[in-house]
Amino acid sequence: MPTLNLGILAHVDAGKTSLTERLLHATGVVAELGSVDAGSTRTDTSPLERRRGITINAAVASLRLGDVTVNIVDTPGHPDFIAEVERSLGVLDGAVLVVSAVEGVQPQTRILMRALRRLHIPTLIVVNKIDRRGARAADLVPELAAKLAPDIVAMGSVRGLGTRAAEFVPFDAPGVEVVAEHDDGVLAGFLADRPVPADQLRGTLAALSRCGRAHPVFFGSAITGAGTDALLGGLPTLLPTAGDDEDAPLSGTVFTIARGTAGEKLAYVRLFAGRLRIRDRPTVGRSKNRITGVEVFDGGPPTRTDVLRAGQIGILRGLDDARIGDAVGAPRSGVAHHHFAPPTLETVIIPGIRPTVACCSPRSSGSPSRIR
pLDDT at 229: 96
Q: State whether 251 and 331 are in the same domain.
A: yes
Chain centroid to CA 178 = 26
Return d(Cα 353, Cα 270) in angstroms, integer. 43
Q: State whether 166 and 273 are in the same domain.
A: no
Q: State whether 314 and 348 are in the same domain.
A: yes
Q: State whether 320 and 263 are in the same domain.
A: yes
Return d(Cα 304, Cα 297) in angstroms, integer. 9
pLDDT single digits (tens) 118-132: 889 999 999 999 999
Name the 3-class secondary structure at 79: helix
Q: Which of 213, 238, 263 is the last residue of a domain?
A: 238
Number of domains in the chain: 2
Q: State whether 232 and 302 are in the same domain.
A: no
Q: CATH number of the domain at 192, please.
A: 3.40.50.300
Return d(Cα 173, Cα 195) in angstroms, integer. 10
CA 55 → CA 60, 80, 306, distances in Å?
A: 12, 11, 31
pLDDT at 353: 73
Q: State whether 226 and 249 are in the same domain.
A: no
pLDDT at 352: 80
Which residues form the domain of 317?
243-372
User: Which of 19-33, 55-69, 225-239 shows the lowest per-residue confidence on average (mean pLDDT)?
Assistant: 55-69
Query: Residue 265 belongs to what H/E stretch?
Result: strand 265-273
Q: Which of 238, 265, 290 is the last residue of a domain?
A: 238
Q: State whether 229 and 248 are in the same domain.
A: no
pLDDT single digits (tens) 78-119: 565 566 677 778 889 999 999 999 999 998 899 889 989 988
Q: For the chain, what percentages of helix, strand and coil (3-state, to nearest 5) are there?
A: 25, 30, 50
Q: State whether 226 and 269 are in the same domain.
A: no
Q: State whether 321 and 214 are in the same domain.
A: no
109: number of CA atoms within 13 Å, CB side?
Answer: 25
Q: State whether 250 and 191 are in the same domain.
A: no
Compute how many other C-beta atoms are within 10 angstroms of the C-beta atom of residue 194.
8
* Mean pLDDT across 12-40: 83
pLDDT at 79: 60
Q: State whether 233 and 309 are in the same domain.
A: no
pLDDT single digits (tens) 248-305: 899 999 988 888 888 889 999 999 999 999 999 999 988 888 999 999 988 888 899 9
Q: CATH number of the domain at 279, please.
A: 2.40.30.10
Q: State whether 75 and 160 are in the same domain.
A: yes
Q: Which of 238, 266, 288 is the last residue of a domain?
A: 238
* Mean pLDDT across 133-150: 95
Residue 287 β-bridge partners: 284
Residue 241 has pLDDT above 60, yes or no: yes
Residue 371 has pLDDT above 50, yes or no: no
CA 364 → CA 33, 360, 370, distances in Å?
A: 72, 7, 13
